[in-house]
Structure 1
Amino acid sequence: MLRKLSICLLATTSLAAPALADTYKVGISAEPYPPFYTPDASGNWSGWEIDFMQAVCERIEAECIVTPLAWEGIIPALNTGKIDMIIGSMSITPARAEQIAFSDKYYDTPTGLLIAKGTDFDATPEGISGAIVGAQSGAVQQAYANKHYAATASDIRIYQTLDEELQDLAAGRLDAVVGDSLAMEPFINSDIGQACCDYKGAVPADPEVLGYGVGVGMRQDDTALLEKVNAAIAEIRADGTYAEISKDYFSFDVYGE
């Protein structure tokens, strides 16, 4: 009798216990990308995109582990199963969509051109004639510079990080940097940025290269996860969570048009 009672209690306890949450490794670039993600001295990451990731993962009832990787290898890491999602400011482009699946857009900021003070370059292909231009390796801005500026610029120099580009621009080793306008904003507004450089505004549009906003990257066969992530994005947009997260980082609607 006692044995049967113990078995019944064990079965009841097992049924009542909640199922373990799914665990996903979420890829970001190993290099800091403020205000989206930045590590502290202990290697803990914070920033707008980390907050966004946590909100999405709560809605899909999953534990998500931030996994920093070299940007150029992040799509191969996803497709080989080393990570399960990319929430790292990856623009939705046709070329990338051939390799991975994207969620709905979760933010969108323009690509802009920052030039050295005392020069008269602008963001058009003709206006960049003779300039030494910096762009980040593997970013949409590299593809944009190669497509629109290579024929007229003096040189297109590729960097591993935006920070390295901006340092070389300030040091006079570059004439211009093409980059995400929001990511460049802290530098533009800094004392160094104000002293060395002028922001020339957004580059001429090219959605085929620059994409259609930023989305969560997933493997193409992870259709169930894609549906859950899209539902989570819609929910946090609708219930005010998105705005609550964003107000600590931005004075404008980072979601874009």
Structure 2
Amino acid sequence: MKQLLILATTALMGLTSLAAAQEGREIRIATEGAYPPFNVAQPDGSITGFDVDIANALCAQMKAKCTIVAQDWDGMIPALQANRFDAIIASMSITEERQKQIDFTNKYYTTPLAVVVPKDSTIAGVSTDDMKGKVVGAQASTTQGNYADEVYAKAGAEAKLYPTQDEATSDLQNGRIDALISDKFVVTDWMNGEGKDCCRMLGDVPGTETEAGIGLRKGDDALRESFNKAIDAIVADGTYKTIVAKYFPFDIY
């Protein structure tokens, strides 16, 4: 029993020292810049949005110097593995398939998928029967893209996948697809703005709630532990709630 206690204490001290080692470290964080309101590229080349605010808050908590870099979504995981940056904070859902390639922190928000259609659409619901024979759009290499391809398409719909969310919403707005499946919070933001007059939300897709986490290279345990501690800290001290309130009138944790 004494030996087990010593081992446990040693392990705890090790994790503490690993987390402390991040203080002052330069961390390169990638985000997409094409997924409002989570990450949005500005005309001056900077990127703003919820993901960026969270990244900056976490870095301040860790006392680390961080640089935000833009990375196309399709190449996000390969670029992380190639050491082009150290972490992904880009609304990346934690999935079993991705966990085979990279590690994740604990969640920093939770979201369901939702379906949006033109206002004059006759589609009544979000089931596979409702989508049969319809063209359903989604951003590629995402949980919504997978759902469109693996669930709706297999049940008789046509899945049309896009490199970016903006291209998908543009085709919905211009009548080139019958429906769009998307992260609910992203498409809600779009419908509050550009998509307000064209479209309506059918509702959430049951059983699709996912957690977004920070993506890290396999084995980067020190950085993962530091981020996890920082996430807990900004939730506890109210920083997280303040950031959420800038973008959403409801809790997303």
TM range (shorter): 0.7 to 0.9
Picking from 189, 195, 198, the partner of 1:196 is: 198
Counterpart of 1:248 in structure 2 is 246
Question: What's the TM-score, normalizing by structure 2?
Answer: 0.86
> Are the equivalent residues in 2 in contact too, given 1:26–1:87 (CA < 8 A)?
yes
Identify the residue that residue 7 of structure 1 maps to in structure 2. Answer: none
Query: What is the percent sequence identity of the aligned residues?
Result: 37
Task: Give secondary structure in 1 for the equivalent of 2:129.
Answer: coil
Q: CA deviation at 1:20?
A: 8.1
CA deviation after TM superposition for structure 1 residue 206, in Å: 4.2
Deviates more, 1:212-221 or 1:229-238: 212-221
Distance in 1 separating the partners of 2:201 and 2:154: 22
Residues 72-129 of structure 1 show CA distances to partners (whole Å, capped at 9, x for unaligned) of 1111111111110000000011111111111011001211000123323221111111
Partner amino acid, structure 2, of 1:253: D
* Structure 1 moving runs of 4+ over 6 Å: none
> Does 2:187 correspond to 1:184?
yes
Any residues of structure 2 matched to 1:45-124 within 5 Å, and which?
Answer: 45-121=47-123, 122-124=125-127
In structure 2, the partner of 1:23 is: 26
Q: Tell me the TM-score normalised to structure 1 length.
A: 0.85
- Residue 244 of structure 1 and its aligned partner are, at CA, apart by 1.6
Q: How does 1:96-245 map to 2 (within 5 A)?
A: 96-121=98-123, 122-190=125-193, 193-206=195-208, 212-245=210-243
Is contact 1:132-1:153 (8 Å) kept?
Answer: no
2:216 aligned partner, one-letter code: M
Look up the SS of the partner of 2:176 in the other structure. coil
Q: Secondary structure at 2:35's aligned position in 1?
A: coil
SS of residue in 2 equivalent to 1:55: helix
Q: Which residue of 2 aligns with 1:16?
A: none
Residue 88 of structure 1 aligns to a residue in which SS? strand
Number of residue pairs the alignment of both structures matches: 231
CA separation in 2, counterparts of 1:151 and 1:195?
A: 31
CA distance in 2 between counterparts of 1:20 and 1:127 reads 52
Higher strand share: 2
Runs (5+) with no aligned partner, structure 2: 1-21
Q: Report the secondary structure of 1:130's partner residue.
A: coil
| 1:34/1:183 contact within 8 Å kept | yes
